[in-house]
Amino acid sequence: MRSAAPFGIPAPALFLVAAATLAEMVPPLGETPLGAVQHVVSFALIIILFDGGMHIGRRRFGESAVPILWLGTAGTAVTAAALGILCHLAFGFSWQPALLLGAALAATDPAVVFSVLGKREITGRTGTILEGESGANDPVGIALTIALLSTTGAGADAWLQGCRIFAVQMVVGLVVGVVGGRVLLAFMRHVRLPRPSFNAVQVFAGAVALFILATVLHGSGFLAVFAAGVLVGDEPAPFKVTIVRFHSVLASLGEIVAFTILGLTVPISELTHRDVWLTGLGIGALLILVVRPVLVGLLSWPIDLRRGERAFILWAGLKGAVPILLGSFALTAGAPDATRIYGVIFFVVTLSVIVQGGSVPAAAKTLGVPMKRVRS
C-alpha cells in the first residue's frame, strides 16, 4: 500500500471509513462474525510483521537494536500505562477498560506512514527505528491486552497473574522466533522447489507454522514471526529476490484487507454517540499531543538522533489496524464497557491516520528527515 491517497487523505483511512460507511448502507455486511474478522486480520498481521522483519534484516536491526527494543517495550508500556490512567481519571472508565484502551492504543503502525509517503522511503536510522519500533510494539501491545483479558480477580494476585502471562508470551515468542528463524533460513538454503514462486510460498508457510507453534506454546506468535523475519531478512538464499517481492506484495494486500474488514465491524451510528466521539477526540488529542511527544520523547532522549529526526519519530507514531483488532478482542471476551471501548478505538485510529498521516510528508520535509525514491 505504498501510495498516497488523493486529497491528502491516507489510503488506509479511506479503506476504513469507506468500509464502515458501506456496512451502514448494506446492513448484512456489518453482520460479519467478529471471530472471522479476527482470524482474517490476525492472518494479515502475520504477513505484515514477517515482511516488516525481513525488510529490516539482522544487520539494520543490530545497528539500532537498543533504541528499537527500548521504544518497542518500555515506550509501549509507558504509553499504555499513561493512557490507562488518563482514561480512568479523565474519562470515567473503570480500571480494566481503561488499561485495555491504553494497551490497545499503545502500538504504532509505520506501514501507514510509508503508505502516505508515496514513492519515497525514509532512510537511515530514522526509518529503521520507526519500522523496528512498530514490529516490536505490536506483539507487546497484543500480549498486554491478552494478559489483561486473561486475568481474573483483583488486587495484587491479578497483577502478578497478568505479569506472568505477559512474560511467558514474550519469552516463548522470542525463543520460537529466533530458533525457528534459523531453521527457516536453513530450509530456504537447502530445500529448493522447481519454481521460484513455490519457494516464496514455502517460506510463507514456514512463517505461519512458527506463529502456530508459538501460540500453542502460549507465546506471542506475532513476536515469533517478526523475529524470524529479521533473522532471514538480509541473509543470502536461493530465490531471495522473488521471496522478498512476494511477501512485500502480500503484506500490502494484507494491510488493505485488514483495514477494510475491520471497517465493516463498526456501525457509523455508534460513532455519533457523544460518549464515543467526544471521548475518542479527547484521548486522541492527549495521545498525539501529550503522551507520545512527552513520555516517549523522554525515553528517546538517550538515543543518538538529530532533533528533527527525533521529532519526526514522535509525530509519526500513527495508529493502525492492530488497536482495532485488540478492541475486538475486548468485545468477544465480554470485557466491561467493551462496545464503548471499540468505538473509541476506531475513532482514535481514524483521527490518527487522517490528521497525523496526512501531515507526514510535510513533516518529513520540514524536519529534514532523509528520504529516497523507491521503485513502483
Residue 217 domain-assigned (yes or no) = yes
Is there a contact between 247 and 50 (Cβ–Cβ < 8 Å)?
A: yes
Is there a contact between 6 and 99 (Cβ–Cβ < 8 Å)?
A: no
Q: Structural domain of residue 107, as residue ranges?
A: 56-370
Taking 50 as the pLDDT cut, the residues of the chain under it are 2-7
How much is the pLDDT for 143?
87
How much is the pLDDT for 153?
56
- Exposure string over 330-357, b if 16+ CB within 10 A, otherwise e: beeeebebbebbbbbbbbbbbbbbbebb
The string of pLDDT tens digits covering residues 275-293 is 899 999 999 999 999 999 9
Handedness of CA 356, 360, 363, 364 (dihedral sign): positive
How much is the pLDDT for 184?
94
The string of pLDDT tens digits covering residues 206-228 is 999 999 999 999 999 999 999 99
DSSP label of 86: H
Residue 19 domain-assigned (yes or no) = no
Residue 186 domain-assigned (yes or no) = yes
Residue 24 domain-assigned (yes or no) = no
Residue 121 domain-assigned (yes or no) = yes
**How far is 180 from 183, CA to CA, in rounded Å?**
5
What total of structural domains would you count in the chain? 1
How much is the pLDDT for 3?
45
How much is the pLDDT for 122?
79
Residue 64 domain-assigned (yes or no) = yes
Residue 35 domain-assigned (yes or no) = no
> Residue 331 is inside which H or E element, if any?
helix 321-332
Residue 50 domain-assigned (yes or no) = no
**CATH at 243:** 1.20.1530.20
How much is the pLDDT for 269?
78
